[in-house]
Amino acid sequence: MQEDDSEGKNVSAAADLTRDRQKRERETWTKVLASLAETRDKRLFAELFSHFGPRIKAYIIRLGLPAASAEEVTQEAMLSVWRKAHMFNASKASASTWIYTLARNLCIDRMRKEKAVEYELPEDEVDPSPRHLGEHAILEQRMKAALGTLPEAQAQVLFLSYYEGKSHSEIAEQLGIPLGSVKSRLRLAFDKLKTHWEAQS
Amino acid sequence: MKIRHHFDDATLMAYSSGSLPQGMAVLVGSHLHWCDECRERVSQTDRIGGDLLEAIEPVAMEPDALASIMALIDQPEPEQKLRSLSSDRLDSARTGLPLPLASMLGSSLDELDWRRIGYGVQQYDLKLDGPGATRLLRIAPGVSVPHHTHRGNELTLILRGSYSDELGRFCVGDVADVDTEVKHQPIVDTDEECICLIATDAPLKFTGLMGRLAQPFIGL
């Protein structure tokens, strides 16, 4: 019993450390983006590119674009980072949040443009590129830290929504739970994250 | 504009995650154009995405990616993009409609080709792709909208006039964010007509964001 407890503490201490490191990283990148806006220094842009480019690409692939399209959209997103840097307001968002929204919007536009291809899919055919890795990936240490101390059921709906772009109804169907439960899990997760962010700052 | 009715957290999370169908995303974006409170909340639901971006396992870019971008960054932004943004702003100012809706309609509410669908009710269908339907309803004073059912969620944004139902009174800028299990029967409660934007999602046939964007328009 005692052993279990100390193990639990170690795991949560490790998660705390990861979170602290991520918080520091987030703040560092926010400063880099803010100074890019002021200086237009290409070296700063190259740093942002090497950190965020591969992450945006990974995110876009998760949402379902093929790697080649994901590469193009990522390059487009990074170009937007350069062009729109003057609109970045460090008091309102971190660099990662701001860049996330840019990438998300471009990815949605791209998917709308490519939809004609998808029309060809027969209705009952399963998703040709199944990404049912959610349950495993969720166990990654990094992911755990990012999602704070959320219970797995809540982390799972967040993951399916943000990482796989699934709608509430699709999540309900996939998990075999009512639509209302998906929404209440999301709300609970959001409340917990907000409390966690407040404690952090 | 005094806004009293806002979105559910779960809806704003769906907006931030990019998983709303186009019509619902335009509706949410339109409310955000008017509502400081929801914009503030969205900055928090976006943050979940930002944190996940930091935590994701990176995938290497093409070796020449940085060079390609560097070659482009000294060139001015394509004029076409800038022009379309400023013309959207003009549309929004001229029509009094929120920017995302103004850019989609390109004309004022009164200039639209309304179609009568029943006593005192006219409709304009935005004919967007994807699941569900996105339409404007124009309802005469005193008229009530018959309740319609379908699975999923239904969002309504008031653009002109007001209505009342079991959930309260909804005026310009307010949103009703309901599951369609919620039974309500709105009635236009002043002598001014009511115009609202209504967006629904539909029972799914495809899975995943890509499939949903692709789903052919299936009507009301």
Cβ distance A168 to B22 less than 8 Å, yes or no, reads no
Q: What percent of chain B has pLDDT over 90?
A: 58
Number of Cβ atoms within 10 Å of the Cβ of B79: 8
Confidence label for A66 from pLDDT (cuts 50, 70 and 90)? very high
Q: What percent of chain B has pLDDT over 70?
A: 86
B38 pLDDT higher than 80: yes
Q: What is the model's pLDDT at position B117?
A: 84
Q: What percent of chain A has pLDDT over 90?
A: 58
A100 pLDDT higher than 60: yes
B128 in reach of chain A (CB within 8 A)? no
B205 pLDDT higher than 50: no
A70 pLDDT higher than 80: yes
Q: Is the dihedral of CA B140, B146, B147, B153 positive or negative?
A: negative
Confidence label for B39 from pLDDT (cuts 50, 70 and 90)? very high
- The mean per-residue pLDDT over the stretch B10-16 comes to 97
pTM summary value: 0.86
Q: Name the B residues in 4-33 with CB < 8 Å from any A CB.
A: 8-10, 13-14, 16-22, 25
* Backbone dihedral angles phi then psi of residue B118, each to the nearest 5 degrees: 170, 180
Q: Name the B residues in 32-61 with CB < 8 Å from any A CB.
A: 43-61
B203 pLDDT higher than 70: no
Q: What is the model's pLDDT at position A132?
A: 45
Q: Which residue of A has its CA nearest to B211?
A: A118
Query: CA-to-CA distance for B210 and A168, rounded, in angstroms?
Result: 15
B152: which chain A residues are within 8 Å (Cβ-Cβ)?
Answer: 168-169, 179
B14 pLDDT higher than 70: yes
Confidence label for B210 from pLDDT (cuts 50, 70 and 90)? low
A48 pLDDT higher than 80: yes
- The mean per-residue pLDDT over the stretch A121-149 comes to 51
* Lowest-confidence pick of A79-93, B42-56, B104-118, B194-208: B194-208
Of residues B149, B148, B144, the one with CA closest to residue B121: B144
Tokens coding B110 = 């009164």
Q: What is the model's pLDDT at position B148?
A: 55
B207 pLDDT higher than 60: no
Tokens coding B208 = 């995943």
Q: Name the A residues in 153-182 with CB < 8 Å from any B CB.
A: 158-159, 161-170, 173-174, 179-180, 182
Of residues A157, A194, A162, A159, the one with CA closest to residue A179: A157
Confidence label for B197 from pLDDT (cuts 50, 70 and 90)? very high
Distance from CA of A66 to the nearest CA of B (A): 11
Q: What is the model's pLDDT at position B211?
A: 46
Q: What is the model's pLDDT at position B216?
A: 38
> pLDDT tens, A145-169?
667 678 989 999 999 999 899 999 8
User: DSSP letters along B61-99, please?
Assistant: PPTTHHHHHHHHHTSPPPHHHHHHHHHHHHHHHHH---H
A146 in reach of chain B (CB within 8 A)? yes
Partnered with residue B198 across adjacent β-strands are B135, B156
B16: which chain A residues are within 8 Å (Cβ-Cβ)?
Answer: 101, 104, 162
Q: What is the model's pLDDT at position B76?
A: 79
Q: What is the model's pLDDT at position A25?
A: 84
Cβ distance A112 to B129 less than 8 Å, yes or no, reads yes
Q: What is the model's pLDDT at position A24?
A: 86
Query: CA-to-CA distance for B146 and B122, rounded, in angstroms?
Result: 13
Confidence label for B87 from pLDDT (cuts 50, 70 and 90)? confident
Distance from CA of A97 to the nearest CA of B (A): 4
Number of Cβ atoms within 10 Å of the Cβ of A36: 22
Q: What is the model's pLDDT at position A157?
A: 94
ipTM of the modeled complex: 0.85
Distance from CA of A2 to the nearest CA of B (A): 32
Distance from CA of A177 to the nearest CA of B (A): 13
CATH topology classification for B9-214: Jelly Rolls (2.60.120)
Ordered structural domains, chain A, with CATH:
9-130 (1.10.1740.10), 131-201 (1.10.10.10)
> pLDDT tens, B103-155?
899 899 999 999 998 888 899 999 988 788 899 999 999 888 766 555 678 89
Q: What is the model's pLDDT at position B68?
A: 95
Query: CA-to-CA distance for B156 and B154, rounded, in angstroms?
Result: 7
B153: which chain A residues are within 8 Å (Cβ-Cβ)?
Answer: 168-169, 179
Query: CA-to-CA distance for B54 and B62, rounded, in angstroms?
Result: 20
Q: Domain map of chain B by residue range?
A: 9-214
* Backbone dihedral angles phi then psi of residue B155, each to the nearest 5 degrees: -110, 140
What's the alpha-carbon Rg for chain A, to the nearest Å? 19
Task: Indicate the residue of A57, A82, A158 with minimum beta-carbon distance to B48.
Answer: A158
Q: Residue A138, CB half-sphere, CA atoms under 13 Å: how many?
A: 23
Determine contact, residues A59/A10, Cβ cutoff 8 Å.
no
Confidence label for A134 from pLDDT (cuts 50, 70 and 90)? very low
Q: What is the model's pLDDT at position B145?
A: 73
A23 in reach of chain B (CB within 8 A)? no
Query: CA-to-CA distance for B127 and B109, rounded, in angstroms?
Result: 16
Number of Cβ atoms within 10 Å of the Cβ of B160: 18
B21: which chain A residues are within 8 Å (Cβ-Cβ)?
Answer: 167
B215 pLDDT higher than 50: no
